[in-house]
Copies of this chain bind each other. A is one copy, B any other.
Amino acid sequence: MRKVSVGFLGCGNIGCGVWKLLQEFKADILHRADVEFDVKKILVRDVTKKRDQVIPAELLTTDPAQITDDPAIEMVLEFMGGEEPATRYMVRALEMGKTVVTANKMALALNWHILQEAAEKHHSGLYYEAAVCGAIPIIRTTIDSLQANRIEEMMGIVNGTTNYILTRMSQEGSDYADVLSDAQRLGLAEPDPTSDVEGFDAAYKLSILSSLAFHARVPFDVIYRQGITQVSATDIAFGKELGYTLKLLAIAKRAGNVIDARVHPTFIPDDHPLASVNGSFNAIFLHGHACDDMMLFGRGAGSAPTASAVVGDMLYAVSRDTPRYPTFHNANTLSDGLTVTDDWHCAFYVRLNASDRPGVLAHITACLGKEGISIRNLMQRDAVDGHAQIVLITHDAGECAINKALKAIASSDVQVESMIRVER
């Protein structure tokens, strides 16, 4: 039996979940892996705070060095969230030769190069399954199981809060603001929801996932990002009528050495495997040149599912004699030889408010035609007060072309109400 001394950095929701799982699953862990995890110290902000779990007072400390610098601690689990001081503490632990297991997507996405450099230099293990989509084993699948694949595409519902909001908007026909405040009341959205609803959280995760999928660093700041705050019940309803479901997707595609990486509201056909991923569930759909289509679905957040990933990483770490690191170089810039395009190709949903006059539709189709964009579906609603709603879905076209066409379409007679990208 091997005994591994563990320190926690942070003990909120996730930390308490890991504590609980380590306690209740002690016998199984011993049976399965012949290992015992012994929690030695837990860094907290306030030792007197009441927690979900009963944790012996002598384990709690407000001094990070008691964890990062104690040679008796072999493994450090980081649950603080945020970029700093989490990154600094993790670097210190890695420099001390400790294995680090983190659930912190922001610190990893922004400071991966710093963390990995410290890990490689000191032969320390660095594990982060819990940083992306909770219990879903997308990290391990990408780096272990799909090693023999050129992954050409990843599309994920990687943020539970926005998926919950969009699911309810779709099912109830409700407006964004109403569902958001309801979600906040239920504790499913933060009091300041910016990170979720503006797509920051999804972009951190996409940076991590696409870097691993493409074996090349795709830093956070090259990712196009558009949140769900402008999504309207009207567009969701029109999409439904046309057979599409609206999701906030994190998308990364690679064709040769050109990639696109983007987070935005996206219509997908109702029969796409991602379309039925509802509520706070997460899922990642991907396509590899050998494995073909694949999807992983599960709980992307929550105390127990995240603990499942953390303790899974702990067991994986102790089962390996030597750590392994991604092959991309240690910098926070796009890997050499790759370029990021903002002129990706997909279909587009467009809603227009147009004067009910002859010639308006001809103007619209001419503007699209000039950019080489053809129409797959068009729907016109009866005019009210001399204005008609025109909804159309294009065939595949370029992002730049559609923007140019929409600029040309906009006139005193036609307002562009919304444009939403459509993936298949």
Q: Which residues of B contact A148 (CB under 8 A)?
A: 21, 25, 29, 307-308, 310-312, 314-315
Task: Give the residues from 26 to 50 in chain A that come closer than 8 angstroms, CB to CB, to chain B.
Answer: 28-29, 31-33
Whether B298 lies near A295 (C-beta < 8 A) is: yes
Known: A148-B307, A320-B320. Is A135-B312 also a contact (CB below 8 A)? no
In the complex, the count of this chain's copies comes to 2
What is the chain B residue whose CB lies nearest that of A138? B145
Which of B141, B310, B314 is within 8 Å of A141, CB to CB? B141
Separation of A149 and B29 alpha carbons in the complex (Å): 9
Separation of A355 and B294 alpha carbons in the complex (Å): 49
Whether A32 lies near B290 (C-beta < 8 A) is: no
Whether A215 lies near B31 (C-beta < 8 A) is: yes
Which of B147, B304, B305 is within 8 Å of A33, CB to CB? B147
- Shortest beta-carbon distance from A317 to chain B in Å: 11
Whether B292 lies near A304 (C-beta < 8 A) is: yes
Q: Is residue A299 contacting chain B, with contact meaning CB distance below 8 A?
A: yes
- Shortest beta-carbon distance from A133 to chain B in Å: 11
Q: Which residues of B contact A324 (CB under 8 A)?
A: 319
Q: Which residues of B contact A291 (CB under 8 A)?
A: 135, 298-299, 304-305, 308-309
Q: Is residue A288 contacting chain B, with contact meaning CB distance below 8 A?
A: yes
Task: Give the residues from 298 to 332 in chain A that come closer than 8 angstroms, CB to CB, to chain B.
Answer: 298-299, 302, 304-305, 307-312, 314-316, 319-322, 324, 327
Q: Which residues of B contact A273 (CB under 8 A)?
A: 276, 297
Separation of A298 and B137 alpha carbons in the complex (Å): 15
Separation of A215 and B136 alpha carbons in the complex (Å): 20
Known: A137-B140, A148-B311. 16 other contacts (CB 8 A): A29-B148, A32-B327, A136-B294, A137-B145, A144-B144, A145-B316, A148-B315, A149-B308, A276-B276, A288-B308, A290-B304, A292-B299, A294-B298, A295-B295, A295-B296, A296-B296
A interface residue numbers (CB < 8 A to B): 21, 25, 28-29, 31-33, 129, 135-137, 140-141, 144-150, 215, 271, 273, 276, 281, 288-299, 302, 304-305, 307-312, 314-316, 319-322, 324, 327
Ranked 4 nearest A-B pairs via Cβ: A148-B311, A137-B145, A135-B291, A294-B298
